[in-house]
């Protein structure tokens, strides 16, 4: 009898892991914060740039104190080794204008949203995506992101994957 219970528990844990890996697991409270992406253009050419804006909105009645965020290329993007690109700039939109931010690497984007995000407000960070002059053409570059946010009421939320719009690299 004990082995049946252990087996059921193991199968349940395995199913939960598979659902979480494929993004099918129910989220704790997805409406508490939203992460959205926009780009300033759908196409570019080798040597061009695209501005990728990320906006996090606080839909909760408590401040967001902390955000951790990743950004990684989609699987299809990684399958095209001829596409060459990199993030070359980062700016946080503020009430007084844009200010530079740091942490354009794949694992530390959350700090760029600024200190606290009050209830009902949002913060936007824009990353500059530089396409190399010797990049291949006729391929799409896209990214996905996972995020984790902590609120001032000691709760947290995680979400993702959230996908960016794809940018097509065209030959001139």
Find the CATH number of the domain harbouring 76. Answer: 2.60.40.10
Q: Answer whether residue 22 is part of any domain.
A: no
d(C-alpha 144, C-alpha 18), whole Å: 19
pTM equals 0.75
Which range of residues forms the domain containing residue 136?
28-169
Contact, 128 vs 88, CB < 8 A?
yes
Cα 144 to Cα 162: distance, rounded to the nearest angstrom: 5
**Domain assignment present for 67:** yes
Residue 53 confidence class, pLDDT cut points 50, 70, 90: very high
Residue 12 lies in a domain: no
Closest CA to 35 of 157, 139, 170, 133: 157
What is the domain count for the chain? 1
The pLDDT tens digits for 15-30 are 444 434 444 444 444 4
Q: What is the pLDDT of residues 71-102, one digit of tens each?
A: 889 999 999 999 999 988 888 887 788 888 76
Query: Cα–chain-centroid distance for residue 7?
Result: 36
Asked if the structure places residue 9 within a domain, the reply is: no
Would 84 be classed as within a structural domain? yes
Rounded to an integer, the average pLDDT of 141-169 is 92
């Amino acid at each position: 009898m004990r082995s049946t219970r252990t087996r059921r528990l193991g199968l349940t844990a395995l199913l939960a892991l598979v659902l979480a890996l494929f993004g099918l697991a129910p989220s704790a409270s997805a409406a508490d914060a939203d992460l959205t992406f926009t780009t300033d253009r759908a196409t570019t050419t080798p040597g061009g740039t695209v501005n990728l804006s990320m906006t996090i909105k606080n839909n909760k009645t408590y401040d967001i104190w902390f955000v951790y965020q990743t950004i990684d290329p989609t699987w299809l993007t990684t399958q095209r080794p001829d596409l060459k690109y990199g993030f070359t700039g980062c700016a946080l939109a503020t009430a007084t204008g844009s200010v530079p931010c740091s942490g354009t690497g794949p694992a530390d984007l959350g700090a760029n949203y600024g200190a606290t995000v009050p209830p009902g407000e949002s913060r936007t960070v824009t990353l500059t995506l530089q396409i190399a002059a010797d990049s291949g053409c006729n391929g799409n570059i896209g990214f996905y992101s996972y995020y984790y946010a902590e609120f001032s009421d000691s709760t947290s939320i995680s979400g993702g994957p959230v996908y960016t719009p794809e940018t097509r690299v065209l030959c001139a």
